Structure 1
């Protein structure tokens, strides 16, 4: 990983180039208060990216997006985080958000679930050995179409359902905002 100063400099410079011309991203170096707390936690637990900083003009919204996404998808709880991240990658692929797809597939690889990441990337999820994982990836993909009856038949234990729904909600939103901002 790049040293922090270099990462922040690259992020500050590249974000301004890639964001829409009417949008001024917050600088990771020149922020305070709630926004600084969100960026600090994001950097520690995930990484700072334009989808998060794109909400910098409203730190409360930025904090809500970050904490909701972190708690729903990035933390091992009732479901393992790698599976929720893989579900997000499949959904991102379906939503045609290559930025999110690449980011989430790299995290799936990082969790040592290379076979799952490769299955998603190549759209050959049938090669994933675990049928429960395949079914959950298909369920996440089905969230793209609100009328899809697959969403009405969740494959999750009752205690997993809030995390599964939260994962689909947060990544559906971040796919759209990333497409807009980046």
Structure 2
């Protein structure tokens, strides 16, 4: 695990809490870093600012104030003018840059009403990869982290803190590591699953996703029964208007033996309504003897299963837009 820590700090600039929270399960920590690195940190066809706009928009849609703050702040450091503020506030229609407006609007709708992709097919591995990454990370953060990474100040003081944070995040976002070279030894090789075929155009991204998916699936199989995993997949296919509510949960949990219900409750909520996970839900899983590693593996599997489901549902077109990062 020390190797992963050192690489994150060297290439990302810090051991960010959304990554550090995975530490009780070292393979899942390596998986999370591998995906974030290859999709967000390594330069490619898509400028970092555009990926940060997608990350901030997905985070808003997932009710994840922590990630919305972090990536909205990074966007402020990368893009001048008022567009970052409009995206961070969810006022996508006010974004003046046509490209950022299209990407942010697409990202906000990615889970519920995905429309045609507003980018060239060659950019799909990075932009759909960003959607997958933050549908995953948002869920993990909603379960385990506080509401905002910034100090609890308001008014002019908060504006000052945000400006300072934007300068720091701009510096951290300027890193230019090479694809693939720093993560291939962290996890075993694995075939690319069919639902991740959209990443094939960028082999380093596809490779990282395949290795990460294999590690996370292994943890899910260890902590959740096959029937429990089937319930999560079924809920993602047809969540319904009351997904995550007490009656919705009870209807599904009643089909399981009592011993399997606490972990399955956590998995279902992490997948469809992560902001509804409470201390009582976590405590319920602990009563079954689950340790920190089990909690991470349950939520990681559910979060990644949801993220993969959403990513696979994106509509790829033959959009001519997009440009190479410089």
Aligned to 1:40: 6
Q: Cα 1:47–1:40, aligned 2, differ >3 Å: closer, same or farther?
A: same
Give, in angstroms, the shift of residue 84 of structure 1. 0.4
Indicate the SS of the match to 2:82.
Answer: helix
Structure 1 runs of 4+ off > 4 angstroms? none
Distance 1:66 1:47 in 2: 12
Distance 1:127 1:69 in 2: 29
Give, in angstroms, the shift of residue 77 of structure 1. 0.7
TM-score by length of 1: 0.73
Deviates more, 1:61-70 or 1:170-179: 61-70
Distance 1:112 1:99 in 2: 20
Distance 1:39 1:51 in 2: 13
Pairwise mapping of residues 1-182 of structure 1 onto structure 2 (< 5 A)? 35-44=1-10, 45-145=12-112, 148-150=113-115, 153-182=116-145
Give, in angstroms, the shift of residue 42 of structure 1. 2.2
Distance 2:128 2:6 in 1: 26
Question: Contact 1:108/1:114 (CA < 8 Å) preserved in 2?
Answer: no
Q: Cα 1:112–1:131, aligned 2, differ >3 Å: closer, same or farther?
A: closer
Q: Cα 1:46–1:103, aligned 2, differ >3 Å: closer, same or farther?
A: farther
User: Unaligned regions of 5+ residues in structure 1, if any?
Assistant: 1-34
Distance 1:142 1:38 in 2: 33
Question: Contact 2:110/2:131 (CA < 8 Å) preserved in 1?
Answer: yes
Deviates more, 1:37-46 or 1:97-106: 37-46
Indicate the SS of the match to 2:109.
Answer: helix
TM-score by length of 2: 0.42
Q: Cα 1:163–1:54, aligned 2, differ >3 Å: closer, same or farther?
A: same
Between Structure 1 and Structure 2, whose CA radius of gyration is higher?
Answer: 2
Question: Contact 2:106/2:114 (CA < 8 Å) preserved in 1?
Answer: no
Distance 1:124 1:160 in 2: 25
Distance 1:115 1:57 in 2: 40
